[in-house]
Every structure is written in structure tokens, then in C-alpha cells.
Structure 1
């Protein structure tokens, strides 16, 4: 039995595929059966895992375990007490508290668990891209990884697909220019590109990018989130940089991000940071319901941040 748990679908798919591949390596003719928790009927697990006439090995994958009825949880507990020989049972649980009793019983019995937690932070996404490229025998410089995350980083499957495309279509070290050639339009429409221009004090470029982003469908909320993330990084680095490299490493921020923040801080004062953070906090409330015009709110915040960089 194997428990694959967590909301990150790509990682869960890969973990499941790996278990199936290992079973097929041991027996190329192994039978693979897939069940869906939401459509489960009482007793199906017992029927599916029961020995066949010729006692062939089996892999049974139960997807959406958390969506199953109480009968599924009861059948899994019954199966746990007496697992069928020659059967590998994979339970995929997407998260949440449904099936808690069954999950606790699986853990208590020592069933192996593969965690597939959501990859949401920029640092985790950049690590994912680097690992994807390394697995394919390729490398990208830090700027290219950052550009790719900015362009398609909202979804792990899209990131994996983008990495695969770059590996297939290019050779050598992957640089920023390569990423921009393939995903330039998406990069320009990203909140982080807008934020970079605002942080640099380039109000004209920031507003031009913002209007292009909004015109191509980008919601104001992630733009404000990108501004907030950039300012948080600046504030963290500014607070500890006088204490040396050891303190900077303790921030948990990627080295290239620290280096970039230190360069950007050359044009920022504590007063300017405070003014920018205040402007973004106001915009955050406005784009989430306190303003009738979220687009105006985010554009005003961009202009205020750009102006604050020179205070």
C-alpha cells in the first residue's frame, strides 16, 4: 500500500506513475486498475483486489480518495487489516480532512506516504524549474529561471511543459534571451515585470506594462501581490544587510534574489519603503472589494511605488 497525499496534481501523477513503473519493471504484464473515489460503490475494492484465476499481480490506483463515500474508507480499513498478496494499492488523497480516520490508520500501520504539497512560493518554483532542467541534462542561468517563473509560474504543469519545450527546442545554456523569445509576451504581461519597473522608479515603463497586462487579461490582484512580494523582499534584506552574509542567508531567500534586492536598495530609503508599502497595502484592500475601480487602484499604486523609490 502507498499513500500519495497532497494537492499538487503533477507531483501526485508522477508519484503514482513511478509506483506503476516499478510494478511493471517487476512484471511487465501486471494489471493496472484505476478507481475514482467520487464514483466508488461499497465492496468494489474487495472485488478489484481479489485474486484472479491465474493469480496475476495487480496495481489498483484509487484517485480522489478524499472525495469518496464512507464505504470507501470502511473498505480501505478492512483491506488494511488483510492486504491481498500480489497487489499494490495506491491511494491518492488530494488534501483536507475527509477520510481522517482512514489516514490515521494508514499512518499507524506504517504505510509509505509520498507528500505532494502545493508549490506556491517563488523560491519553490525556481527550485522546481532548476530540477526539471537538471533532470533533462540542461542548465539555465538564474535570470532565465526567474523569467520563466514570471511567465508561466502560476501552474506547475505549465512550468514543466515550458521546461520540456525549451529542452526540446534549444541547445546549450538557457539564458534570458531564449526564455523571452519563447515566452516574451507572457513575461511582459506578468505582475513581476510591472513590479520590477516600479521598483526601479521607471513609472512610464511600469504603467505601459501594466496597461498591456490588464488588456491581455491579467487580473489586478496578482499585480498588487507582485508589488507586495517585491517590497517584502526589499524590506527583509534592508533590515539585516548590515549584519553580514550570515544574516542574509537566514532569510530563506534565494541568493540571486538577495543580490538583486541589494542592487535595488541603492535607490531606496527607509522612508521611501514605508511610503511604498503603505500604498500597496491600500491598493490590496481596494482591488479586493473596497474600490469600484480596481484597475485605477493598481495603476495609482504603481505610480506611488515608482515615485517612492526616489524619496
Structure 2
């Protein structure tokens, strides 16, 4: 029997946002700025949470993991864009492209799962406050993160291994700034039915279950909050969820935008911009959302930089 993998491609070409040489410095500066802001912002969140004992709680443990995931997501794609622009070489090896697909799926899926875990954490904190420390014990928190990593890794490996069976013959230009799974599959000259089926079935499952968990958690949260007699109590309960809800809307809103863009438009530029909104922008804005809306983070930042002692303010 002949081997399934008949790939003749040794590398792909990432066309990026534009081939206009006059715009390349602007694009380089834009991506470099976003990458530096993403790395510094998320590292600062991790540093603040790890250095302040007041923040050693399940909520901030998950936030630290979310920040680490955002760093990994951006590092998977943006440095290659910067190197390609700087060297004027838009090639990426077959192995590099496949690795990029795998890691984007792992960290993108992990972010989705972590947002669902954080929603569950808020559900327990608001709906079962007296049992919060018992339910959200350190062992469960670590287990939820490890389980999320396992699930997303399995999902990424399934897609990556099915790409290995595809043949790539002549047209090796990817109209994107990174190796996006759908765009790579479109270049194949072999049957891609299995790959397409997996994208719509497995991806819907792995994305739908966390989203359903978030919706269920916040349905229960809202139901509990409306029964709180005190206006101050309701405000405090809402404020503990505000930052997380903002991140959820940003992440899933941009992801839905990517899906709608690819479904209704074949324009490469529109697809690229939509993917930027999904793979770059949320990771950059998440630290600002949490630091601007969360008084505990603000207090820890002041304490870290010595402006004034941490007062232990609660959100």
C-alpha cells in the first residue's frame, strides 16, 4: 500500500497584510508595538498576582494562567511576522507551518476553556459563597487547568495529524500573516473532506461546550444577584464579574467575527483583519481590562511599585 502522505511542499509563503514596500515599516511597527504591549501587560499581571499574597486566590490563579496563555498565543504568530517583514522573506517551512497551526489551536482553545473555568469560579463565589473555599480548593483549580490543557492539546493534535495526510503541490501561497488551519487546507490538492468535517464538528464541540458553560454560569449568577436585597450587595456581585464578562465578550465577539467574515466574504484582507481581531487584539487588551476595572489589581500594582501600601480593597 502506498503511503498516504504525498506532500511535496517544503515551505509555504505567508503573504501577510500587503506586499506594498512602503507600508512594510508601518506594519512592522504596528505588530511590534502590539506584541510588546501584550508581553509586558500580561507579564505584569503574572508578576502582580505572584508577588501579592492577597491575590493568591482561585480567581487570580486562573487569571495568571490566562495571561500566560495570551503570551504564548501572541508568541506563536507575531515574531514570525516581524522576522518575515525584516528579512523580506515570507517563507515558512512545512514543519514550522504545521507547528504554528498546532500551537494556535492549543492556546486558542486553552483561552476558551480558561474563560469557562473562570465563569465557574465566579458562579461558585456568588451562588455558593459559604462553600467557596471548600469547592474551589487548590487541587481542583490545578486539575481544571491541567484538564483544559489536555482537552485543547488533543483537539490540536487531531487537526494537525489530519493535515499531515494532505498533499500540497503547486500553489503554496497563504493569504495570511500566520498559518491558519482553514487557509492551509484550502491549498491542498487532495481530498479535504475529513479535514473540513473535523473543523465544523470537533471545533464546534470544543468551542460550544466552554461557551455553554459560561452561559449557564452567568444565568445562575444573574438569578442569584436579582435576589440580593441590598443595592450595594448587587453592585459588588456585578463588579466581581465585570472584568471577566468584558474579556468573554471580546474573545467570543472577535471569534464570531472571524467566522462570519470567512463565511460571507472571500476577501483575503477582510479575513486577515478579522483574524487579527481574534488572535492579537484580545491578548493585548486583557491585562488592561483587568487592571482598569479591578481595584484589587490596582492596589497590588501600587504596592508593587511602592506608591503606597496595599490596602486590601475588594472589588
Q: TM-score range by the shorter chain?
A: under 0.3
Question: Whose Rg is larger?
Answer: 1
Taking structure 2 as the reference length, what is the TM-score of the superposition?
0.23
Instruction: Give 1 or 2: higher helix fraction.
Output: 2
Instruction: Give 1 or 2: higher strand fraction.
Output: 1
Q: Which one scores higher on RCO, CA 8 angstroms, separation ≥ 6?
A: 2
